[in-house]
Amino acid sequence: MIVECSSCARPNRLPAKRARDHAKCAACKGVLLPLSHPLALTSTQDFEELVRDAPAPVLVDFWAEWCPPCRMVAPELEKVAAERAGQVIVAKVDTEALPDIAARFDIRSIPTMILFRNGREAERQSGAMPASAIKDRFRL
């Protein structure tokens, strides 16, 4: 998976299996892991690797840029990622950029959040909600 450094914006490739480890940016040595912000998935391969190999539950937000409710839930997911860093990985899939993944999971409305545990879909919820409701709904 590609993790962008929050300090210098350099992309760093890290195996999903290390998602709970502590890792630093190759360029500036800024903190990369554990993830304290949502991870934007840009390829089908990155999505599959993350869901399959992540050592923690993965909460995936299926969204699109043009969707107002998606933009409303984005800062709420930032809060969840920051509060649960190391316990859950929050990821984002742009349904316009990765329509094959959206089709595979039969995403019919956005935002839709799916929680994956051990590589399998455990729960799903559609619609925007505050961070507290997201944590309660998915027991995070």
**Whether 67 is catalytic:** yes
Query: Sign of the C-alpha dihedral, residues 130, 136, 139, 140?
Result: positive
Q: Which of 5, 25, 28, 67 is labelled catalytic?
A: 67
95 and 63 Cβ atoms separated by less than 8 Å: yes
Could you tell me where the DSSP H helices lie in the chain? 44-53, 68-83, 99-104, 131-137
Q: Is 5 a catalytic residue?
A: no
Which residue type does 11 have?
P
Catalytic residue (choose from 5, 25, 28, 70): 70
Catalytic residue numbers read 67, 70
